């Protein structure tokens, strides 16, 4: 189907945008979606491989809703990186459409969003916006759910499912659901009341194979059944198969993406591969890689061991990529890979799902990973998702997706399971009670559902209700949760109508688990020093996973438990009343935050608490939110907040109390405040009265920006 065939059906701006990007023909899934009523407002589930054109289907629906109907459109994705990527793409394609991205502050209805036509949000952010009572929902004509297979994700699937159910219930918007890996797309389409577009079309041919003894087997069976391309000898001299695969890829002038089961394995893989391919780099490659290496190393004022390790790997043309990296480092690596500066990236499998880094060759090196209890096998859907990164439409005519085997038996098993195997069906994850607890409180706080019967009726409309029909277990969970919420004084029954208390409504708005809120509210009323306040926020579900308990953490926790009075946060019952069973680790996490507030350097924190720089900043971000939430709850239960406000500012900047006055000014953070203090500038008044000295410490440009705030 030619693009010009929709002229006259859609506004000329849409056709113009497509033609400017050189799009002349629609792919089969795109054509099928249009034929299924995409431009007539029909809701559609699209299940087709990576790079088959799913995003353009969503784009057409959204742009048509905005330009032709004068309605808003919302794009919802589970991962921040994906939201940012799609926002950038849409803004480039339709610069005249007022587009915006909202993925931050969970305690706001962001009223300014009403001024925008195309809104990109994360799943949790849109759920939070609805909790805060946005008034522009009726003006939304199209809602896109990307990566809808996340419905069965244990941690995030329930929020997606309940959000989809709620939006089906309260809006008449067209809904577009996208995924490359749904084994039961027809079931999801039926649940949504949507039409199904299912396709195996892929613009770049994908060859899937298993590597054994430096040969790729693309087809198994008897020799007479194989064609001449069934077996491929890998070029190169390395005996280690993962290195041989990268060597072979580089000899083709292509790049490789290797997925490992853990961060440690990804880092070790990058070191091995880098040492092997470094001699093959050109002089120009080395110049660009050295520049990139310096940028990666210089992200922090004082590099950590991980920064040094990453910098060394990058010099050799390889990078590792996982959640422990700093955002800036990830950004540098991703762009350098797209620019063909980095030749191979070694990534964790879980992170690979959210990062759009296509390559000619993808190797899934390990199909088992640690799941918190033991080693578990990666599912077919996830491996298929990773395989989908192979083959770039702009650069490749084919891509390779490979697995590694150490024996013929294993090769046959891997081939049967992951190459010949069918995609797994997506199942509801709504039966997880803690997640359900948060949403039931939100339903009541929003005045969306106000009785046991209405909650149960809503649950029957969910994907869980559609799949299992029997709601006995969910009804039991609902009853138990309502009893808890009542005991905690977050809801009350007023003549048969469930109503959120002022406290319960605020807990819902703050987007924290009611159990965490109960622990915080009770802890606020007890004796706390600074470490006690930090333990109050770390001993919550939101701060998991905690750092490992150190010897200092264990001994100081025991000391606090034995010496603090029974009226303190460390009383004899402790956190066990709140179903959080790792108080020593939570306490050690509190000590890490305390060290940060006392200006211990990032490098030392990373080493002392065995945490990555990226994970450290995630913990600091979560802690900032929980302290803010504690302050908001303290106001409602009439507890003084002065100490918490100080903790909040000190956590934000990582400073001792003596620097609080200085950091009130923009341009002055942790490092500059300490430099000023050490030079006798200790207050804002000192800045006003010692301009020459301030200029000498900060430099002329920064000093002028500081002075402009106090003049």
- Cβ atoms of 346 and 319 within 8 Å: the answer is yes
Question: Yes or no: is domain 662-710 CATH 1.10.150.20?
Answer: yes
User: Which of the four CATH numbers 3.30.1490.20, 3.50.50.60, 3.40.50.300, 3.40.640.10 does domain 3-198 have?
Assistant: 3.40.50.300
- Cβ atoms of 369 and 343 within 8 Å: the answer is no
d(CA 427, CA 183): 10
Q: What is the pLDDT of residue 580?
A: 58
Dump strand ranges (E) for 309-365: 318-321, 344-348, 361-364
Going by C-alpha positions, the residue among 202, 205, 317 that lies closest to residue 271 is 317
CA atoms within 13 Å, Cβ hemisphere of 458: 25
How do beta strands 368-370 and 231-233 pair? unpaired
Residues of the chain with pLDDT under 50: 224, 575
d(CA 20, CA 30): 18
Q: Structure tokens of 105? A: 């502050």
What residues pair up with 390 in beta bridges, in sequence order? 359
Q: How many helices (H) and strands (E) does the chain have?
A: 31, 19
Look at domain 512-654 and name its CATH class. mainly alpha
Q: What is the pLDDT of residue 168?
A: 95
The residue ranges of every structural domain in the chain are 3-198, 205-419, 433-509, 512-654, 662-710
* Residue 276: Cβ within 10 Å count: 20
* Helix 583-597, helix 530-538: angle, nearest 10: 130
Q: What is the pLDDT of residue 228?
A: 59
For residue 545, is the peptide bond before it cis, meaning its omega torsion is within 30 degrees of 0? yes
Going by C-alpha positions, the residue among 472, 388, 485 that lies closest to residue 49 is 388
What residues pair up with 216 in beta bridges, in sequence order? 211, 232
Question: Yes or no: is domain 205-419 CATH 1.10.10.60?
Answer: no
Residue-wise pLDDT for 71-116, tens only, equals 999 999 998 888 999 999 999 999 999 999 998 777 788 899 999 9
CA angle 396, 401, 407 (to 5 degrees): 145
Q: What is the pLDDT of residue 221?
A: 58
Instruction: Give the phi and the psi of residue 346 in degrees, each rounded to 5.
Output: -105, 115
- Cβ atoms of 540 and 520 within 8 Å: the answer is yes
The model's pTM is: 0.91
Question: Yes or no: is domain 433-509 CATH 2.60.40.10?
Answer: no
Going by C-alpha positions, the residue among 92, 143, 97 that lies closest to residue 121 is 143
Do the first three CATH levels of 3-198 and 205-419 match, i.e. the same topology?
A: yes
């Amino acid at each position: 189907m030619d693009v010009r065939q929709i002229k006259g059906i859609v506004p000329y701006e849409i056709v113009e945008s497509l033609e400017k990007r050189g799009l002349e023909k629609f792919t089969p899934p795109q054509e099928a979606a249009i034929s299924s009523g995409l431009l007539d407002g029909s809701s559609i589930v699209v299940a087709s491989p990576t790079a088959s054109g799913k995003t353009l289907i969503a784009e057409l629906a959204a742009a048509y809703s905005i330009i032709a109907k004068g309605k808003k459109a919302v794009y919802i994705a589970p991962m921040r990186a994906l939201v940012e990527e799609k926002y950038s793409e849409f803004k480039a394609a339709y610069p005249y459409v007022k587009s915006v991205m909202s993925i931050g502050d969970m305690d706001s209805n962001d009223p300014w969003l009403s001024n925008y036509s195309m809104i990109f949000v994360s799943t949790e952010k849109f759920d939070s916006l609805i909790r805060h009572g946005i008034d522009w929902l009726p003006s939304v004509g199209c809602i896109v759910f990307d990566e809808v297979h996340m419905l069965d994700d244990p941690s995030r699937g329930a929020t997606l499912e309940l959000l989809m159910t709620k939006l089906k219930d309260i809006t008449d918007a067209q809904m577009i659901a996208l995924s490359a890996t749904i084994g039961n797309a027809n079931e999801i389409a039926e649940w949504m009341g949507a039409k199904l577009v299912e396709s195996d079309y892929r613009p770049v041919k994908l060859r899937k194979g298993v590597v054994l003894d430096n040969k790729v087997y693309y087809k198994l069976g008897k020799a007479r059944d194989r064609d001449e391309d069934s077996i491929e000898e890998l070029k190169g001299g390395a005996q280690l198969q993962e290195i041989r695969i990268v060597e072979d890829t580089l000899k083709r002038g292509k790049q490789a993406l290797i997925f490992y089961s853990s961060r440690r394995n990804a880092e070790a893989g990058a070191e091995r591969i880098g040492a092997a391919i470094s001699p093959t780099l050109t002089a120009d490659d080395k110049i660009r890689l050295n520049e990139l290496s310096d940028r990666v190393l210089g992200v922090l004022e004082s590099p950590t061991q991980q920064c040094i390790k990453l910098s060394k790997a990058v010099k050799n043309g390889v990078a590792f990529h996982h959640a422990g990296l700093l955002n800036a480092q990830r950004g540098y690596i991703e762009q350098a890979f797209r620019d063909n500066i980095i030749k191979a990236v070694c990534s964790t499998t879980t992170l690979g799902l959210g990062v759009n880094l296509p390559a000619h060759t993808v190797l899934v090196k390990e199909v088992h990973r640690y799941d918190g209890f033991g080693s578990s096998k990666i599912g077919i859907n996830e491996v298929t998702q990773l395989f989908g990164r192979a083959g770039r439409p702009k650069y490749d005519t084919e891509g390779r997706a490979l697995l590694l085997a150490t024996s013929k038996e294993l090769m046959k098993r891997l081939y049967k399971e992951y190459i010949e195997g069918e995609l797994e069906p997506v199942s509801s994850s709504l039966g997880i009670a803690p997640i359900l607890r948060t949403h039931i409180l939100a339903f009541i706080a929003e005045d969306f559902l106000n009785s046991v019967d209405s909650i149960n009726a809503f649950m029957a409309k969910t994907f869980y209700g559609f799949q299992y029909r029997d709601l006995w277990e969910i009804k039991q969970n609902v009853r138990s949760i309502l009893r808890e919420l009542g005991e905690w004084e977050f809801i009350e029954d007023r003549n048969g109508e469930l109503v959120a208390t002022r406290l319960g409504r605020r807990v819902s708005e703050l987007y924290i688990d009611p159990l965490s809120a109960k622990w915080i509210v009770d802890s606020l009323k007890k004796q706390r020093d600074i470490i006690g306040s930090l333990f109050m926020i770390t001993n919550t579900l939101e701060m998991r996973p905690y750092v490992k308990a150190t010897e200092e953490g264990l001994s100081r926790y025991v000391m606090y438990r034995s010496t603090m009075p029974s009226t303190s946060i460390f009383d004899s019952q402790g956190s066990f009343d709140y179903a959080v069973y790792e108080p020593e680790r939570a306490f050690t996490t509190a000590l890490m935050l305390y060290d940060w507030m006392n200006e211990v350097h990032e490098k030392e924190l990373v080493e002392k608490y065995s945490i990555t720089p990226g994970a450290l900043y995630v913990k600091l971000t979560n802690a900032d939110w929980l302290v803010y939430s504690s302050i908001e709850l303290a106001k409602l239960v009439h507890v003084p907040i002065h100490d918490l406000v100080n903790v909040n500012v000190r956590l934000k900047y990582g400073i001792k109390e003596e620097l609080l006055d200085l950091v009130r000014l923009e341009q002055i953070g942790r490092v500059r405040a300490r430099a000023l203090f050490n030079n006798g500038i200790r207050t804002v008044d000192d800045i006003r009265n010692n301009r020459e000295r301030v200029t000498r410490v900060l430099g002329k440009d920064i000093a002028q920006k500081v002075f402009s705030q106090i003049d």
